[in-house]
Every structure is written in C-alpha cells, then in structure tokens.
C-alpha cells in the first residue's frame, strides 16, 4: 500500500507513454539552450523521456508561416497528447490546426490581441501558457539604447516579414516610442541567411544609424551569434531582447528571463498531462526581467557606458 501511494499519478495510468509535440519557427541548434531548460524541468518533475513521455520536435527553419502550418498539421496527424509552442507564430499555427489538443505557449507576445486566448485569466479553449510581454519591453529597450549612446539620432530596427503576425505589433509600438524619444526609426526587413544578414548591416551603415534594435522573435534568437558578430564588425551599438545575445558577445540586453518561462511551461505540461484542462490554467505574464551589460563588447566598438546605467544593471560583464 505504501509503495502504491508513492507512485506518481501519471505513472499509474497503465504505463501510458504521453506524446508531446514541440513546434518552433526557427532551428534546433538555435533553440537548444532553452529546449534543454524545458526538458530538464520535466525530468525534475518525474517525467522520463522514452519511458513515460516522448517528444516530437518540429522546427520550421525560419521558412515562415506556411511551413509552421504544415508542421502543426503533421503533429495533429500524429495524434500527440499536447503541443508545446515557443512563440506566437507557432502558437497561431497550432491553434489553427486543432481545437482539441492542449497547447502550451512558452512565450507569446500579446496572446489576447492575436486571438490565441479569450483573456489571460480565463483563456478558454485549448490554449494556455505564458506571455513574454515583448511589445512593452521593446519600448524600454529603445530608451536604454538612447541612454547608452550619446547623441543617438537614428536607430536601425531589424524585423522579419515572415512573422508579421507578431512583428507588426512590436513595430507599431516602437514607432510610437521612437517619436516620443525624438529618434528616427529606420525599419529594415531581414532575410536570415549569411548574405542577407551581411547586406542588412551594410544597409544600416548606409542609413547612418547610430544603434540597432531587433523585434523579439525566435528566429532572431536562433541566429544570435551571427547577428552579434555583424553588429561588432560594423561597430554598431545594439540592444537585444535576451541575455543569450550577450553571452555570445553582444553589447546589452533587456528583457524577460526566458529560462524561467520555459521552466514554468514544463509545470503546465505536467499539470495538463495529469488531467488539468488548459482552459482552467490562466495565461501568466513574465515576472522575472534582467538587464545585462557587456563592457568588453562596449570597448570593442569604442563605446563608454555611463556609470548610472551600470548601477541599474542586474549583471555587468567585464
């Protein structure tokens, strides 16, 4: 009897192996660091891959909404028990593919505005999870970039047309913020390949921008190493939406602690697989934020970071 009581609830379901689908707009290599956080948290919760769960990974390789829809349909055909999505574009593809399979968002910009859920408190339907509030944070990032770069007049905004469902929300917010900060926003669409990235930074220099900001999305995150290298090469101060850009040698980041969101998403997966309905789990907003500065990167491009900014940072890399 004591042994039976000690067995986790999910292990009592006659040895059932739950099948989880994971849908992402970018690449396996680029997302590995965050997916590992998610998998490790599932393991801590008692789920063992190959024993009581399997995970089917689907990456769109930055090929856009059509590819995401194909992959979402594929997961539905496989009759997975749950779909984890890593951004709003993937969430939209999954929601359009099924109204019955539970969907857990690790981070999605403004899921109410995008029609993913009815409200944060009462999501309804089969979608729940976490929102990273990327739209509001982009405004803050623009403010930080202006504080860091003396006499900043022009800012290059890197965006992607293929994820316009989320990118447009961020771009609209940044246009308003730039106007308020008396900055000229040079919007530059980007193709995520070696030649496309190089030409974008060349164009940014031609437009005489004094700094770079990107919209927050999984595809940029997956290409963070190359983006950071090009910003350094062209001596352009840049602020990013995740600290992993700074880990790759980037100048600054201000944004959500995404590791925290992916850990929390694992807990929602745990609850749903044990019987909780997605509609009964509120969509939670990010609560942990971090501001990181890399002084070594600043030195490489000849930028002096004000002392006041360093005092506000959660972490200063020397």
DSSP character at residue 49: B
Phi-psi region of 124 (alpha: psi -120 to 50; beta: other; left: phi over 0): left
Confidence check: pLDDT of 1 > 80 = no
The domain locations on the chain are 2-132+257-289, 134-256+290-317
**pTM for this prediction:** 0.85
Q: Where are the alpha helices (DSSP H) in 54-193?
A: 65-77, 88-97, 134-148, 164-180
**Would you say 14 and 81 are in contact if contact means Cβ atoms under 8 Å apart?**
no
* Cβ neighbours around 188 below 10 Å, total: 18
The DSSP call for residue 286 is: P
Query: Which SS3 state, helix, strand or coil, does residue 318 take?
Result: coil
Cβ–Cβ < 8 Å for 253, 240: yes
- Strand, helix or coil for residue 253: strand
Task: Report the CATH number of the 134-256+290-317 domain.
Answer: 3.40.50.2300
| DSSP for residue 113 | T
Pair 224, 244: CB distance under 8 Å: yes
2-132+257-289 shares its CATH topology with 134-256+290-317:
yes
pLDDT digits (tens, 9 = 90+) for 182-202: 999 999 988 777 678 899 999
Tokens for 34?
């965050």
Structure tokens given for 12: 């009592």
pLDDT band for position 150 (50/70/90)? confident
Query: Does residue 166 register a pLDDT over 90?
Result: no
Residue 296 has pLDDT above 90, yes or no: yes
pLDDT digits (tens, 9 = 90+) for 24-75: 999 999 999 999 999 999 999 999 999 999 999 999 998 889 999 999 999 9
Question: Could you tell me how many residues make up the chain?
Answer: 318
* Cα end-to-end span (Å), the chain: 57
**CATH T-level fold of 2-132+257-289:** Rossmann fold (3.40.50)
Structure tokens at 102: 């539970």
């Amino acid at each position: 009897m004591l042994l039976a009581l000690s067995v986790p609830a999910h292990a009592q379901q006659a040895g059932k192996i739950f099948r989880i689908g994971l849908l992402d707009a970018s690449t396996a290599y680029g997302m590995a660091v965050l997916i590992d956080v998610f998998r490790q948290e599932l393991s801590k919760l008692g789920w063992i891959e190959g024993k009581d769960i399997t995970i089917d990974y689907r990456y769109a390789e930055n090929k856009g909404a059509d590819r995401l829809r194909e992959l979402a349909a594929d997961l539905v055909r496989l009759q997975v028990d749950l779909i984890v999505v890593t951004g709003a574009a993937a969430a939209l593809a999954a929601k359009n593919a099924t109204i019955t399979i539970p969907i857990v968002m690790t981070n999605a910009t403004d899921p109410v505005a995008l029609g993913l859920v009815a409200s944060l408190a009462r999501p309804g339907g089969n979608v729940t999870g976490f929102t990273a509030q990327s739209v509001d944070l982009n405004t803050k990032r623009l403010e930080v970039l202006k504080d860091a770069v003396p006499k900043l007049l022009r800012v290059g905004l890197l965006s992607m047309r293929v994820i316009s469902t989320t990118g447009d929300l961020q771009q609209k917010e940044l246009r308003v913020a730039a106007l308020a900060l008396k900055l000229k926003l040079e919007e530059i669409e980007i193709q995520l390949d070696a030649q496309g990235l190089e030409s974008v930074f060349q164009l940014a220099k031609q437009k005489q921008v004094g700094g770079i900001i990107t919209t927050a999305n999984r595809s940029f995150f997956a290409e963070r190493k190359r983006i950071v290298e090009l910003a350094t090469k062209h001596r352009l101060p840049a602020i990013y939406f995740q600290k992993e850009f700074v880990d790759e040698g980037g100048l600054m980041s201000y944004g959500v602690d995404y590791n925290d969101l992916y850990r929390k998403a694992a807990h929602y997966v745990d609850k749903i697989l044990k019987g909780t309905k997605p509609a009964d789990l509120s969509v939670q907003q990010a609560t942990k934020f971090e501001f990181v500065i890399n002084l070594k990167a600043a030195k490489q491009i000849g930028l002096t970071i004000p002392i006041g900014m360093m005092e506000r940072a959660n972490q200063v890399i020397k």
